[in-house]
Amino acid sequence: MKQYFSYFKWMFIVLGVLAVITGVVAAANALTADNTYVRGNKEAPEQRVYDYADVLTSAEEKDLEELIAKRESQIGCDIVLVTIDESLYDIYGITDDTDANWEWSITEYAETFYLDNNYGFDETGTEGDGALLLHNWHPVEKGLHVAHGGKVWDHYSDSMIADLLDVIYDKAKDDPYEAYKYYVENMYREMSGKASAINLNPFILFIIAVIVAAIFIATHIKPKEGSKTTTSSTYVENGSVKFNAQRDELINKYVTKRVIQTSSGGGGSSGGRSSGGSRMGGGSRRG
Amino acid sequence: MVFKCKNCGGNVVYNPERHKMHCPYCDSLESEQKETTGESLTTCINCGGPIEVNEFTSASQCPYCDNYIIFDERVTGEYTPHLIIPFVFSKERVKLLLRDKFKSCVFAPSDFLSEAKLNSMSGMYVPFWMYDYHVRGVFDGQGNKIRRWRSGNTEYTETSVYHIYRDMEVDFDKMPVDSSDAMPDATMDLMEPYDYKALEAFKEEYMSGFFAERYNQDALAGEPRAVDKAKKDAESILKQSISGYVGVHSALNNQVTLQRTDTNYALLPVWIYNYKYKGEDYRFHINGQTGKIIGKVPVAAKKVWGYGATVFASLFTIMMLVRQLLLMF
């Protein structure tokens, strides 16, 4: 036991110090007032989750509403979720199914929904702080769009929106609730500036700890048996190696040749797509 | 025989650190006096207590009076060693060596390096035959040298075939082979090399304080191992002289022939630490001259899981605490 404690002395000291620091910080945080935002815009409805496509259970909707309420006060941004399962082409009288038409229609619907409902944490309109995720489950026009305004628009770059939509798209295939929860938490992480800390996923930390423990065992379990330390010359009497004959005679020489196959490579280009005429910031993903 | 102190009558032993005979009772140096009267293989020459020795034991310790006894008839006549390398490492220094070497073996049982267990270690002079050989090795074969270059989109390969011939002679000095049935051959081979500069003409005094055996088989019986070693070494030297070739092969008659030129019977020092764990014997052999250690450390499964779980739990908790701290700031 003594050997055990002496071996892990430093590990336990680090652990203890960290635990104390965490405790002190937690206590200090509990004593000081929570950094909550006060809502400026009183015109928006209280509802945040509109599950017209009916992909969530009522319990899930309620959970999301509660989570959004909590997160909104922490970051001072409205977080809205809308799911639909309908043809926007019919609504807007579009006849050609092109990417541009698809993007325009989903953007238009999302922004109109946001603006007509007067969302925005501090104020209404395009300058109001907030975001809306629109998920259309329609078989032909299915896809996602995030519309954002105010400080959310300032914070999120196009690539951040694209990454966010990729994750939501993948998660929604198996579990829409998890996908939308991810959207809410992503908003919270980004807008609260705690992105790096929360990205330390406990499961990944668990795996890291398992791997390190396995490496620790593997490197310490190796039994040391001892190895050979003599060479072929250990017992050779000094200067006794004598070559009576040492001949290297060329007896044949031949040349072979081979044609080297060369291959030509091809390249591709990828382009971005931009939409014009929208009122808010945002990005879409079709599929 | 037994070496007794002229000053106090205590048992004088060889002290590796001082390179001198030493009386541990009165601390006198070089005060030994050889006593041989009343020697027998069944009773202690000092106290008369019954002692048990096997047919090869040439030095032992009396279990009653702790005196180290050397059996005259097994170190004289045909059993007189020609050479000896005295112990350089004392028991205390070997303890330090073992603790240092195995300090990172955290999964070893807790008492593996304990003072009590290490005190049970004993020093033993192991009988070795040492053979001198004159060896002749001939290699007659072929090998290729390859040169490659490119011109345009064509790669050319030039293969030059050579006839390789080597005729070499080499002398091996004191190729050692242990002559003790109790010592595993592979382990004794790993004990090598001993530093032959320290070889001395045999002196009985060096044996006092240690265990020893006389050779178990005669020089002829031990020779096949030495011949094998000498041939392998000669072949290796021959091979080293053939360089720069690929696909070296020999269709012709190659041979390594050897001729024994001298034989010596020597005693070489080995410390032995026997450790028993869960009914299994773990034996460590330590070269008494160089300190080289051969042996497999036992692993306590309970410790593997305990330490592994501690590393996992501590690390995971530390990372979670850091994560929590980052979240709070």
A71 lies in which domain range?
Answer: 45-202
pLDDT of residue B41: 85
Residues of A in contact with B232 (CB under 8 A): 232
Instruction: Choose among A19, A256, A260: nearest Cβ to B157.
Output: A256
Q: Under a CB-based contact definition with an 8 Å cutoff, are residues B120 and B272 in contact?
A: no
- Please give the Cα distance from A180 to A137 (Å, whole number): 14
Q: What angle do CA B109, B110, B114 make, to 5 degrees?
A: 115
CATH number assigned to the domain comprising residue A54: 3.10.310.50
Q: Are strands B122-151 and B13-15 parallel, antiparallel or unpaired?
A: unpaired
- Please give the Cα distance from A145 to A162 (Å, whole number): 10
For B204, which DSSP code?
A: G
Q: Is the peptide bond before B63 cis (omega within 30 degrees of 0)?
A: no
pLDDT of residue B243: 87
- Cα nearest neighbour of B162 on chain A: A250
Q: Is residue A106 part of a domain?
A: yes
Average pLDDT taken over every residue of chain B? 93
Whether B158 shows a pLDDT value over 70: the answer reads: yes
pLDDT of residue B270: 97
Among all chains, which residue has been given the structure tokens 């044996």? B207
For residues B13-39, b (16+ Cβ closer than 10 Å) or e, as one string?
Answer: bbbbeeeebbbeeeebeebbeeeeeeb
Number of folded domains in chain A? 1
Listed in sequence order, the residues at least 6 apart from B33 whose beta carbon sits closer than 8 Å to its beta carbon are B3, B4, B5, B6, B12
Q: Is residue A101 part of a domain?
A: yes
pLDDT of residue B252: 63
At A274, which amino acid appears? S
A174, exposed or middle or buried, with CB in 10 Å at 0-12, 13-18, 19+? exposed
- Please give the Cα distance from B66 to B44 (Å, whole number): 10
Low-confidence ranges of chain A (pLDDT < 70): 32-35, 194-199, 223-224, 262-278
SS3 labels along A203-271:
HHHHHHHHHHHHHHHHHHHCCCCCCCCCCCCCCECCCCCEEEEEEEEEEEEEEEEEECCCCCCCCCCCC
Residue B150 distance to chain A (closest CA, Å): 9
Q: Is residue A12 part of a domain?
A: no
pLDDT of residue A176: 95
pLDDT of residue B131: 97
Tokens of A38: 């006060």
**CA B149 centroid distance within chain:** 52
For residues B103-121, b (16+ Cβ closer than 10 Å) or e, as one string?
Answer: eebbbbbeebbeeeebeeb
What is the dihedral angle through the alpha carbons of A13, A18, A23, A29, rounded to the nearest 10 degrees?
160
- Please give the Cα distance from B248 to B159 (Å, whole number): 13
Domain ranges of chain B: 127-298, 301-329
Instruction: Choose among B233, B312, B321: nearest Cβ to A18.
Output: B321
What ipTM goes with this model?
Answer: 0.84
Q: pLDDT-derived band of residue B106, with 50, 70 and 90 as boundaries?
A: confident
pLDDT of residue A223: 65
For chains A and B, CB pairs below 8 A equal 215
Residue A3 distance to chain B (closest CA, Å): 8
DSSP-based three-state secondary structure for B119:
coil
pLDDT (mean) for B164-175: 95
Q: Under a CB-based contact definition with an 8 Å cutoff, are residues B160 and B239 in contact?
A: no
- Cα nearest neighbour of A4 on chain B: B307
Give the ranges where A117-192 is alpha helix by DSSP (H).
150-155, 158-174, 176-192
Whether B33 shows a pLDDT value over 70: the answer reads: yes
Residues of B in contact with A13 (CB under 8 A): none
Listed in sequence order, the residues at least 6 apart from B218 whose beta carbon sits closer than 8 Å to its beta carbon are none
